[in-house]
Amino acid sequence: MKRFTKARKFYVYIVQCQDSTYYTGYTPDIKRRIKLHNAGKGAKYTRDRRPIKLVWCKEYGYFKRAVSKEREIKKLTHKQKQRLVEIYERRSLQKS
């Protein structure tokens, strides 16, 4: 694993796969990571479940915080992740 500097931004994200399951990850470059997932070069989990769609994303200033949030989300049930996504979508609509 690469060593990241404190000044870099990190993104924790949730993608929805073609079969309606969710995959959670973190990355310093969200656009590149989504492209990799959709090209079949991302996580093994998403390779056979393409296309994927970004449904939740949050920026963190520190690597450890991003990893901690990713672990927290991965422990959630499908229904809990779905609720998190719904809240995120609602807030995004209110901002636009």
Domain limits, the chain: 10-95
Structure tokens at 48: 């056979």
**Can you tell me the mean pLDDT for 70-76?**
98
- Residue that has been written with the tokens 């959670």 in this structure: 24
Cα separation, 4 vs 30, in Å, equals: 15
The structure's pTM equals 0.89
Classified by CATH at the fold level, domain 10-95 comes out as: GIY-YIG endonuclease (3.40.1440)
Q: What is the pLDDT of residue 6?
A: 52
Q: Is the pLDDT of residue 40 over 90?
A: yes
Average pLDDT, the chain: 93
Q: Is the pLDDT of residue 18 over 80?
A: yes
CA distance readout (Å), 78 to 8, 15, 47, 66, 90: 30, 12, 19, 20, 18
Helices (H), 1-96: 30-38, 44-47, 63-74, 78-95
Q: Is the pLDDT of residue 54 over 60?
A: yes
